[in-house]
Structure 1
């Protein structure tokens, strides 16, 4: 198993590596999740329940978004969402530069 800096995780499995590579872990079998903005009340419950090893959900002020490259597809956010507005995103597209800027701004402070 190839490792980074002697860590036991293969390349791409650690959150900082996924941020640097801007890529999903290829071992993840589930599609990422997405939040339907028109149904979301921006309560941030999903954000608070996203496991720290993924930390894929961000509050942009007027909406909450999931960065698909960081989302493993686990149901942690879905289970707690009071609006049931989080869906499987089989047709996800790579995250744009503007959202990656948000990730980079908050990467050390979460």
Structure 2
């Protein structure tokens, strides 16, 4: 990805974080991690494309923020225990998670 394209992707991610909404053009539902099956290896986190940055390790669990998840299968392909599923019935992310997302967001 070119530097300009990466900058645009990071800007779009920052806008989604500020608005706390999913991309309007995203047709696939977001993914979710089944905590009871997850081994907290962070493979999914490392596999999530930077322009989405939807996966966060909160210490005891790894979560996908649905508003940042495009529904692409990148994390699924990296997961060694197949604990990532399509989340047709996702709910908005709570404020405590958004606080973590905003703290870890790239300020540039």
TM-score range, shorter chain: 0.7 to 0.9
> What residue number does 2:3 align with?
none
Q: Measure the CA separation in 2 of the matches of 1:78 and 1:92.
A: 17
Superposition pairs of residues 55-66 of structure 1, within 5 angstroms: 55-66=53-64
TM-score by length of 2: 0.88
Q: Alignment partner of 1:87: what SS? A: strand
> What residue number does 1:6 align with?
none
Q: How many residues align?
A: 98
> What residue number does 2:51 align with?
53
**Residue 68 (structure 1) shift:** 0.2
Match 1:69 to one of 64, 67, 70 = 67
Match 2:82 to one of 81, 84, 99 = 84
Query: Which portions of structure 1, spanning 4 or more consecutive aligned residues, are displaced by more than 4 angstroms?
Result: none
> What residue number does 1:5 align with?
none
Unaligned runs of 5+ in 1: 1-8
Q: Measure the CA separation in 2 of the matches of 1:107 and 1:83.
A: 28
**Residue 42 (structure 1) shift:** 0.2
Unaligned runs of 5+ in 2: 1-7
TM-score by length of 1: 0.86
